[in-house]
Amino acid sequence: MIIIIGGGIAGLSLAWHLIRRGEKITLIDQGKVGSGASAAACAYLEPRLGTGAMRTLEWASLKSWPSFIKEIEQISGQSVDYRRDGQLRVAFASNFNALMKNAEERKAQGWNIHWLEGAEVQNREPHLSQNVVAAAFLPDVPWVDGQKLCRAIAIAITKSGGTVLENHKVERLLLKNGYACGIATKQTRLKADRIVLAAGMGTNELEGLPVDFLKCRPVRGVNLSLNMTAETPLVRHLIRHPDNTVLCPRSDGTLLVGPTHEDGEISNLVAPETISRLF
């Protein structure tokens, strides 16, 4: 059996693919699946520029995403709010040349990209600032509701014979002859042939790891969640500001604004000045 510690998108998607290969899987999360960073993130797919292996992996992921979403929704019976309205990378006078250069680099690397003048941007998104002078439209950038996706994958896992244990905090790894052979929570002990760590910052709290095991470095991202009218939303594209702030609309009328990028911060308590900065 394979035990996966962590019920975010990384642990859940790995569990799903392993089950499809015939592996016996138990996934464990200290809370509800998808209740951490995977739930708070805007969750959009935008492969990076460059020529490295990570870019190749990101493009492969982007291309396989529609079939993955279709499979998860069919098996789970849940909608994950998969949106394909595309991304608008907006430009003001101060960053016009930088965005133009970025758009040219993307086109040279095979991106499907369209340059929009100010009037065209306002026609697509009339609630954006009149100071927006242009935008690069990336129609291939999709996004998804991370919390709904995590829940749907968990349902698909259990329907396919896997086990998902929520509210089970793994306190330590069980060792035999220096090798991990299982896990211990307050509620139970489980043996495993292999163990996967996908718990993010929670990994730092695990007992039984090698003394030279690398620690996770915290970086907190805060998104502001606003209510729109679902029938007449303020925006319908994913909007990318020059400072990397994103406006991410959900089909239920929610609008996410953010994220911040705070190195070393692990608290769930958000300072008032952080909220003011997002406004």
Q: State pLDDT tens for residues 113-131.
A: 999 999 999 999 999 999 9
Helices (H) and strands (E) counted in the chain, each on its own, are: 7, 16
| pLDDT above 90 for 90 | yes
Worst-scoring range by mean pLDDT, 74-78, 200-204, 233-237? Answer: 200-204
Q: Is the pTM of this model over 0.85?
A: yes
| pLDDT above 90 for 184 | yes
Cα 7 from Cα 164, distance rounded (Å) = 9
Q: State pLDDT tens for residues 154-176.
A: 999 999 999 999 999 999 999 99
Q: State pLDDT tens for residues 246-266.
A: 999 999 999 999 898 888 888
* pLDDT-based confidence at residue 112 (cuts at 50, 70, 90): very high
- pLDDT at position 194 is 95
Comparing CA positions, the residue from 258, 267, 238 lying closest to residue 250 is 238
DSSP 110-178: T---EEEEHHHHHHH-TTS-TT--EEEEETT--B--HHHHHHHHHHHHHHTT-EEE-S--EEEEEEETT
